Chains A and B, each alone.
Chain A
């Protein structure tokens, strides 16, 4: 619990300042930030898919379920604001609490470095808000782990933080588990079962759907090289990664990260943080292991033969595909550097004496350096993240589709779109979250030199149906699969549409009803096994149990913490 008082007030003030400086444009008006994978809709209908029961890989399980439930009572635009603002506040207050025995300026340095760095910028601009939330929860995970190491019976803080992290995304759950194991496990192996058990239970929500889905095909061909960390400047990939940057998606890089000098200055900040950690942190070996491991995982695909080795490993162990965007696993380094910079500030402060008063400027520099080195993160990435509002057509289309119906979205060319109403910014197609029922979008990922194959067998079935070419034949094949609706997103690209009756057209959307195509097409075979795979009673039971266990973990941890704080 954060104790009210001057210390908490100072931390809150710095955290609010950082959060508002980053998210201000979103907070000050209506509309959404829609960019990359960041898709929020006014009201996200409930679907079994949000629990991982649809036959696809559980990439956003159970976060989509949570967003769907919350958007039943709150508008989606408010949900997005609360999640992002709450995330940055949680991150700032969490890291301040982690270094809570130090002066306010040392805590402020930890807050700015943790919340304001290239990794945060890059993940925000790529739209991975859930992974960003998981990152911002890491200080609470670390605090829970340290508590667990000191008091093995006090599992509640670690349990709650682990549970919430796994809600964010599978990657977040894995990173949280690693943090708990590295910082929370005692040296005697016999005591490891407690953090290990907590980590497993917390991650069951996505582990069980992933392990029990039978028909998904995970391709690792070329993906590790395609998503490998890259050099942002002449300083090279290692310097980029050591300063928390180096994402594979070069188009979102801020201009300052293309400067060799600025990247090296950022490395200087990292070096100061690591020096502080080495000189002053009692558990320095654990922290350095955590940071070193993060750097290694991020860099492996960039090493000679690294990507090929991961591919070979991925052929034998499909779960390795989780590491394809290995740069995201650099997140724990932000935690390590933030703790280190707080120590560095404290060490510098300790050297201030008559004649060295100017060292206060070094203290101030350590506090503001992250902002100074990356001004592009300010104010919605300097205005790049404009707010957007969905045209009314999306509501019109959603109103016409039933919960038990299937919709195919065209154009059938990847799942990212650039709508003019969204400032032509690339964003994941919102249809699967906006529309009720089963919504299928081409889930191939198009990279420079490779195409990551579709994973969902239903997508491959639709792909085959669309290959028929003739509009009438395509419509019949889609009907055979159980598809009633085809949503054509016009103005994105020209696309041959199957034959169907136009049920709605306007604002760039055209909804075709295949059920009444040709006048005598008859009923759509809803329930076709391809689109509604037999989930199996056992799988449904297992997935339900997994979610219940996670709920029990989170709720019991919360109750335990509240009782202990009285």
Chain B
């Protein structure tokens, strides 16, 4: 039973970390607010 539980929990953690890592690698840094596309600022 412990093995199954460990596998499930470990799988969830590994999934979150791996996907998050890939996402961060592909997406780069979070978009800065200054590059806002929804609100038009005076500098644009």
Contacts and interface: CB of A to CB of B under 8 A. Distances in A.
Interface string A358-397: 1101100100010011011000011010000000000000
Interface string B1-44: 11101101110110111011001100111111111111111110
B33 A255 contact: no
A262 B42 contact: no
A488 to B, nearest CB: 11
A548 interface: no
Given A372-B16, A447-B39, A424 B34 contact: yes
A358 B6 contact: yes
Given A259-B20, A261-B15, A252 B31 contact: yes
A355 B4 CA distance: 11
Interface string A143-154: 000000000000
A447 B40 CA distance: 7
Contacts, number: 130
A251 B39 CA distance: 10
B19 A365 contact: no
A384 B33 contact: yes
Contacts of B30: 252-255, 376, 381-382, 384
Interface stretch (A198-206, A298-306, A412-420): A412-420
A193 B30 CA distance: 48
A491 B41 CA distance: 13
B36 A492 contact: no
Contacts of A170: none
Contacts of A358: 1-3, 5-6, 9
Contacts of A17: none
Given A251-B38, A418-B41, A36 B33 contact: yes
Contact of A248 (B6, B38, B40): B38
A423 to B, nearest CB: 7
A358 B2 CA distance: 5
A492 B43 contact: yes
A416 B5 contact: no
A210 interface: no
A255 B31 CA distance: 8
A424 B34 CA distance: 6
A259 B8 CA distance: 21
A259 B15 CA distance: 12
Which residue among B2, B16, B24, B28 has the maximum number of chain A CB atoms within 10 Å of its CB? B16
A262 B16 CA distance: 6
A261 B15 CA distance: 9
Nearest to A353: B1
Nearest to A356: B1
B44 to A, nearest CB: 8
A414 B33 CA distance: 16
B42 A256 contact: no
Given A258-B27, A413-B40, 6 more contacts: A249-B36, A251-B31, A252-B36, A356-B2, A416-B42, A447-B38
14 contacts: A251-B33, A255-B30, A256-B23, A262-B23, A358-B2, A361-B5, A372-B13, A373-B20, A413-B40, A423-B34, A424-B32, A425-B32, A445-B39, A492-B42
Interface of B: 1-3, 5-6, 8-10, 12-13, 15-17, 19-20, 23-24, 27-43
The 9 A-B pairs at the shortest CB distance, nearest first, are namely A255-B27, A446-B40, A358-B5, A358-B2, A424-B34, A251-B36, A493-B42, A361-B9, A492-B42
